[in-house]
């Protein structure tokens, strides 16, 4: 056993590299990361990293690099399609959470993590597609598509929503959530219609035809992106690809919803934005899993492979980062080798309870963002307004944004 790598991590996206870094930096434990892509993935979109996510990035030593390539903010403004303010959520706060919220491209976060792995001397083997796992009593064998294999004491599946690691240890089916998103990035803020100056940014705008977010994403805030999430009928994987490629159709979907009776700068964006730059993404979900570990507990799932849901709570990457740091403190417990069954059960219970709350929060956001009749929309807007009058700008969100993964050790 001693010559085996202690840990093999499958997936070099967000959660996998964060786990490898946390293990090395906090506990001096080495691991090896296997990644399907030949190099780091530049695809993806801008994401929002709330303080609970940023805190993990700080703990693993990449926050400073990432922060300077994204837009930090504290106040998220909410308004209606008539540009009336509904509320103001303190989504970040150096005072209450130690961190601001950060809007940044996912690829920047991934690259920062992978670069830091290199600095720390943690091997990342690119171009390695895991195809099979064989779990034995004392180790796990990994088989890759190129015909090679490897062995480790424990394997961590951080291989995203369509996880092979998950398939190897349980039967599950990812399913379409009923929602998709359309995003356009790289809009010069100065090019927005002057009506944009009537609402502070970043702003979530709610109306009876749905929801549009306008978010600065560059360090100075001079570049913004816009996105909308919306209910949309299911279709096959091929049909989704066809729709995503048909940029005229994607722009039509946007214009039908937001081309009229919205603040002028939103109507203009849906018409003037270069349609070739629009991304359409269906959101797939992993159903709630009874376990995030294999029966013998030598295979462990984290991030989207364990619990992918829609990004309507802005918490997908955050949950992967939290999983990573909490698991690193679990794996490095002094009794782990002799008592891993108990420790992993505690970790799994702690994380799945939190994920249940975050999923409820996400689903609520999905309902608030969905189109409705004028009357229901009116009620929803009053509810949003009333909530912030009641809770103030903290919005009772300390449970979400104040979470510190280091606290897991109190449960052992």
Ligand X SMILES: Cc1cc2nc3c(=O)[nH]c(=O)nc-3n(C[C@H](O)[C@H](O)[C@H](O)COP(=O)(O)OP(=O)(O)OC[C@H]3O[C@@H](n4cnc5c(N)ncnc54)[C@H](O)[C@@H]3O)c2cc1C
The residue whose two tokens read 């979907």 is 253
Q: Provide Rg for the chain, Cα atoms.
A: 22
Shortest distance in whole angstroms from residue 197 CB to ligand X = 25
- Contact predicate 207/81, CB 8 Å: yes
Choices 87-95, 111-119, 155-163, 215-223; region in contact with ligand X by CB under 6 A: 155-163
Instruction: Quote the Cα angle for 150-156-162, to 5°.
Output: 100
Contact between 325 and ligand X per CB under 6 A: no
Question: What token pair was written down for 259?
Answer: 């081309």
Closest-CA residue to 231 (of 310, 314, 162): 310
Contact between 181 and ligand X per CB under 6 A: yes
Contact between 292 and ligand X per CB under 6 A: no
Contact between 333 and ligand X per CB under 6 A: no
Contact between 332 and ligand X per CB under 6 A: no
Dmax (CA) of the chain: 67
Among 317, 358, 384, 408, binds ligand X (CB under 6 A): 317
Contact between 92 and ligand X per CB under 6 A: no
Shortest distance in whole angstroms from residue 229 CB to ligand X = 8
DSSP state of 289: P
Among 19, 53, 278, 331, binds ligand X (CB under 6 A): 53
Contact between 141 and ligand X per CB under 6 A: no
- Residue whose Cβ sits closest to ligand X: 13
Alpha-helical segments (H) within 43-156: 51-59, 63-67, 94-97, 106-119
Q: What is the 3-state secondary structure (H, E, C) of 180-199?
A: EEEEEEEEEHHHCCHHHHHC
Among 9, 10, 101, 331, binds ligand X (CB under 6 A): 10
Shortest distance in whole angstroms from residue 121 CB to ligand X = 21
Closest-CA residue to 30 (of 56, 4, 12, 53): 4
Contact between 216 and ligand X per CB under 6 A: no
The residue whose two tokens read 């599950």 is 172
Among 315, 328, 362, 365, binds ligand X (CB under 6 A): 315
Site residue total, ligand X (CB under 6 A): 36
Closest-CA residue to 9 (of 335, 202, 22, 262): 22
Among 45, 243, 346, 394, binds ligand X (CB under 6 A): 45
Alpha-helical segments (H) within 259-289: 264-272
Contact between 160 and ligand X per CB under 6 A: yes
Contact between 13 and ligand X per CB under 6 A: yes
Residue 356 CB neighbour total at 10 angstroms: 12
Total residues belonging to the chain: 412
Nearer to ligand X, 331 or 358 (CB): 358
Contact between 11 and ligand X per CB under 6 A: yes
Nearer to ligand X, 5 or 195 (CB): 5
Binding site for ligand X (CB under 6 A): 10-16, 34-37, 41, 45, 47-49, 53, 106, 128-130, 158-160, 164, 181, 281, 303-304, 311, 314-318, 320
């Amino acid at each position: 056993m001693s010559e085996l790598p202690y840990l093999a991590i499958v997936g070099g996206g967000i959660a996998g590299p964060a786990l490898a870094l946390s293990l090395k930096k906090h506990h001096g434990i080495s691991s090896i990361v296997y990644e399907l892509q030949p190099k780091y993935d530049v695809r993806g979109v801008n994401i929002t990293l709330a303080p609970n996510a940023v805190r993990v990035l700080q703990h693993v030593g990449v926050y400073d690099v990432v922060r300077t390539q994204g837009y930090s903010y504290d106040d998220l403004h909410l308004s209606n399609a008539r540009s009336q303010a509904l509320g103001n959520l303190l989504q970040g706060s150096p005072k209450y959470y130690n961190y601001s919220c950060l809007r940044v491209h996912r690829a920047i976060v991934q690259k920062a993590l992978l670069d830091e792995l290199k600095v720390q001397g943690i091997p990342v083997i690119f171009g390695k597609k895991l195809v099979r796992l064989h779990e034995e009593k004392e180790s796990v064998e990994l088989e890759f598509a190129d015909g090679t294999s490897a062995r480790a004491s424990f394997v961590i599946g951080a291989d995203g929503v369509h996880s092979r690691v998950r398939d190897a240890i349980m039967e599950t089916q990812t399913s379409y959530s009923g929602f998709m998103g359309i995003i356009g990035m790289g809009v010069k803020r100065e090019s927005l219609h002057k009506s944009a100056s009537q609402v502070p940014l970043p702003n979530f705008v709610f109306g009876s035809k749905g929801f549009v977010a306008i978010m600065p994403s560059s360090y100075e805030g001079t570049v913004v992106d816009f996105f909308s999430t919306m209910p949309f009928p299911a279709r096959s994987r091929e049909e989704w690809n066809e729709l995503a490629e048909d940029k005229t159709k994607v722009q039509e979907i946007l214009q039908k919803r937001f081309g009229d009776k919205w603040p002028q700068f939103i109507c203009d964006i849906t018409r003037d934005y270069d349609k070739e730059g629009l991304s359409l993404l269906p959101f797939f979900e992993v159903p709630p899993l009874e376990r995030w570990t294999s029966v013998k507990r030598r295979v462990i799932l984290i991030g989207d492979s364990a619990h992918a849901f829609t990004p309507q709570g802005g918490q997908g990457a955050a949950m992967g980062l939290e999983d990573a740091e909490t698991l690193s403190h679990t794996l490095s417990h002094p009794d782990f080798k002799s008592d891993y069954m108990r420790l992993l059960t505690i970790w799994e219970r702690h994380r799945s309870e939190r994920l249940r709350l975050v999923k409820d929060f996400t689903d609520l956001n999905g309902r608030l963002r969905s189109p409705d009749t004028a009357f229901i929309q009116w009620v929803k807007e009053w509810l949003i307004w009333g909530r912030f009058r009641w809770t103030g700008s903290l919005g009772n969100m300390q449970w979400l944004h104040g979470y510190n993964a280091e606290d897991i050790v109190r449960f052992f």
